[in-house]
A and B are shown apart, each in its own frame.
Chain A
């Protein structure tokens, strides 16, 4: 099963290495990872997506808690949450195919953020399904390059993942 962990961590040197090292040591791959500042200065939030069984993820969460710099860990996949990821796609765009591409981008509420004589860069945000779908459609034109930010997620409703 896929798990999305939200980890609040003191923004100290090595904190990131400690966390990612813990995953690799216990033998599983981080599918994606996103890090950024929170409302509290000095505290960063990491969102990590991993594929693992319930029992193993429980052990990982406990091990994460043991890291001195880690303040809080929540498994967001256990509760309703909003998950988003941003993707930039550089797609081959000859003059003839531009309007077709444009149409797809609009359907997915994406944006064209750069145009050159034979390519375009498209920005889309969404969940996994949506990003996979647009990728599939644009593949037809020839995708030259893709970059993704990794997922970020928040619990739905007024519940929060906070340090206290």
Chain B
């Protein structure tokens, strides 16, 4: 029955890990047309499903067993919830009569995941299953996307019931708004016409709603510069004429200055996260703000909004385009050019004997990639360097853990991306700390001979935390040196993957070229400058135009 439902939903691939409570489910899988990818840890399975969903736009489907199987999913679910990624997770549960008795491998996973799922279900009887499955897919993939979990007791798997599957669901309390309010759109049109210093400030909502071509058209027709959050990267080409970069804590100086000086901010699919706004009281004081978002609860949550528009970002932008009256932004664009020339993204100071710079590595990976490349990053300094230096050319091609900042996300997400887009090049850019949080998946990529470049930015530290200790704690490096890390080349080789080490610029370039030309998984261990910091930087809860440059300008 579950297999039939998945087939009706167009699911081709499931990510998972078996166990006692899902034996019947895995038995059904044995001769189902569905493909299943086996991981070495449930957390990796969810992150991979998440990566798959971010690339395809379709819900990623995960199977896991009861108890520890289910609890191992938790980080991945929270990660998907924060970044609005559609997932349908099916967990086994102990048999109904045992629920609530602390039975072997029992965990109240619907209780545990209550605050980190869009919705969840504990199935009472097989009769309810078709309705619940249809609802789960519908809820996960409409409105503001998110993870939905279905917990199925073992005895329910064994029940027989009539399979009547109806993909159309009517849920009385769930009616997402897609079309923007016409009156508000007209007000937005006027505000754009009258603005002298407008910026578009876009986020993950642009990606999820497929709004990038509408965004591009708006920016170009009205000559409005574009700022994208970490989650929005790719919605506008990274090398596009009007692109100012990422704002916020490690954002471009120009992006932060532009937000501070703007008289109009067109915020599209963003949630004004604290890493972006800095000190709220000083954020964009001179600007009128238009906020377009599918989730009404995001509007006015952190920042006061002048023109709220609840709706699907793509649909609203398209409607806006039909009525658009461009203003005159020439003078503003000139001001922005001046900032851009004065404050480029720092590439790190190099001397004749200086070690390999992480920024250089990211730039080489970017330079040698083409339009058809998917990048998944982990969390830390290397993630910020990717955001700053990797030219993200297309939407859905930059996968990163934005809201939760989950170390260990990148590698499995890259596996998901690999399966989602067989024609694309896939690069996982990770850190020596993050990689060790899901390093076991080397078995998965080797076993399946996945073409993938794993670029390990090896600085010997939990670099991002070390940087904070450097700047805010007087260089007291408490437990951030990764002593005892393995020889990553040997580890990769032990799993059966090709591995290369690079310690200088020349080797780095050669290694990337070789990896890109090689079939199967290749790990490059880039030994980089250990104490390189990410700049520019804004201290937490400070105004975003108060920039720590690290002596770069």
Interface residues of A (CB under 8 A from B): 9-10, 13-14, 17-18, 21, 25, 58-59, 62-63, 65-72, 163
24 pairs from A and B in contact (CB 8 Å cutoff) = A9-B173, A10-B172, A13-B122, A13-B124, A14-B110, A14-B114, A18-B114, A25-B115, A58-B300, A59-B297, A59-B301, A62-B296, A62-B297, A65-B296, A66-B295, A67-B173, A68-B118, A68-B119, A68-B139, A68-B171, A70-B173, A71-B172, A72-B173, A163-B172
B135 to chain A: closest residue by CB: A68
B183 at interface by CB-CB < 8 Å: no
Task: Decide: B115 and A63 in contact? CB cutoff 8 A.
Answer: no
Task: Decide: A63 and B297 in contact? CB cutoff 8 A.
Answer: yes
As a 0/1 sequence over residues 414 to 452 of chain B, the CB contacts with chain A under 8 angstroms (1 = contact) are 000000000000000000000000000000000000000
Task: Decide: A65 and B110 in contact? CB cutoff 8 A.
Answer: no
CB contacts (< 8 Å) of A18 on chain B: these are 114
- A sample of 9 more A-B contacts (CB under 8 A), given A69-B173, A71-B172, is A9-B173, A13-B122, A58-B300, A62-B296, A62-B297, A65-B297, A68-B118, A70-B173, A71-B173
A59 to chain B: closest residue by CB: B301
Task: Decide: A21 and B295 in contact? CB cutoff 8 A.
Answer: no
Interface of chain B residues 388 through 430 with chain A (CB within 8 A)? none
Interface residues of B (CB under 8 A from A): 110-111, 114-115, 118-120, 122, 124, 139, 171-174, 295-297, 300-301
CB contacts (< 8 Å) of B171 on chain A: these are 68
Most buried by A among B114, B119, B172, B296: B172
CB contacts (< 8 Å) of A13 on chain B: these are 122, 124
Task: Decide: A21 and B110 in contact? CB cutoff 8 A.
Answer: no
Task: Decide: A10 and B173 in contact? CB cutoff 8 A.
Answer: yes
Task: Decide: B119 and A17 in contact? CB cutoff 8 A.
Answer: no
A22 to chain B: closest residue by CB: B115
Q: How far is the CB of B321 from chain A (nearest CB, A)?
A: 28
CB contacts (< 8 Å) of B172 on chain A: these are 10, 71, 163
B295 to chain A: closest residue by CB: A66
B301 to chain A: closest residue by CB: A59
CB contacts (< 8 Å) of A63 on chain B: these are 297
Q: How far is the CB of B308 from chain A (nearest CB, A)?
A: 11
A75 vs B174: C-alpha distance in the bound complex, in angstroms?
19
A29 vs B128: C-alpha distance in the bound complex, in angstroms?
35
CB contacts (< 8 Å) of A65 on chain B: these are 296-297
Q: How far is the CB of A73 from chain B (nearest CB, A)?
A: 10
A25 vs B111: C-alpha distance in the bound complex, in angstroms?
14
Task: Decide: A17 and B114 in contact? CB cutoff 8 A.
Answer: yes
Q: How far is the CB of B103 from chain A (nearest CB, A)?
A: 19
Kindly list the 8 A-B residue pairs having the minimum CB-CB distance in the complex, ordered from nearest: A62-B297, A71-B173, A68-B119, A70-B173, A71-B172, A68-B174, A63-B297, A62-B296
B118 to chain A: closest residue by CB: A68
Task: Decide: B173 and A17 in contact? CB cutoff 8 A.
Answer: no
The residue from B111, B173, B297 contacting A68, defined by CB atoms under 8 A apart: B173
A72 vs B172: C-alpha distance in the bound complex, in angstroms?
9
The residue from A9, A14, A25, A66 contacting B297, defined by CB atoms under 8 A apart: A66
A71 vs B175: C-alpha distance in the bound complex, in angstroms?
10
CB contacts (< 8 Å) of A59 on chain B: these are 297, 300-301
Q: How far is the CB of A18 from chain B (nearest CB, A)?
A: 6
A62 vs B297: C-alpha distance in the bound complex, in angstroms?
5
A158 vs B517: C-alpha distance in the bound complex, in angstroms?
74
